[in-house]
Amino acid sequence: MKSHNKKKLRLYIFKSNKHIYANLIDDNTQKVITSSSTISKEIKDKIKYRRNCAMAEIVGKHIGAKLKKLGVKEVIFDRGNNLYHGQVRAIADATREEGIIF
């Protein structure tokens, strides 16, 4: 892993075969602060299909709203081994629409 700016929190995106996860990680304490995914209580009732761009957008908006509530304005976007297109891009765009900078 590349060295990250230790002052900023990291928004890590993970995709499994069925679900999409967005985790806010503090690399100083190595803990997940908050997360959102297609299996989150607030989201799973709104969805018909587990893995598509519309679903990723809902996850992105949800994590963006959670970050705003926590007072987080800027994060490092970590897409893992995923290419920046499709679902990963949908999460990123939706999170930016909520006012989060990366």
Q: What is the pLDDT of residues 45-99, one digit of tens each?
A: 877 776 799 999 999 999 999 999 999 999 999 999 999 999 999 999 999 999 9
Place of tokens 């989150």: 40
Q: Which of 36, 35, 37 is nearest to 16 (CA)?
A: 37
Q: What string of H, E and C letters represents the secondary structure of 50-94?
A: CCCHHHHHHHHHHHHHHHHHHCCCEEEEECCCCCCCCHHHHHHHH
User: Cα(first)–Cα(last) distance of the chain, in Å?
Assistant: 18
Average pLDDT over residues 7-30: 94
Break the chain into its structural domains and give their ranges: 9-97
Q: Does CATH number 3.20.20.70 belong to domain 9-97?
A: no
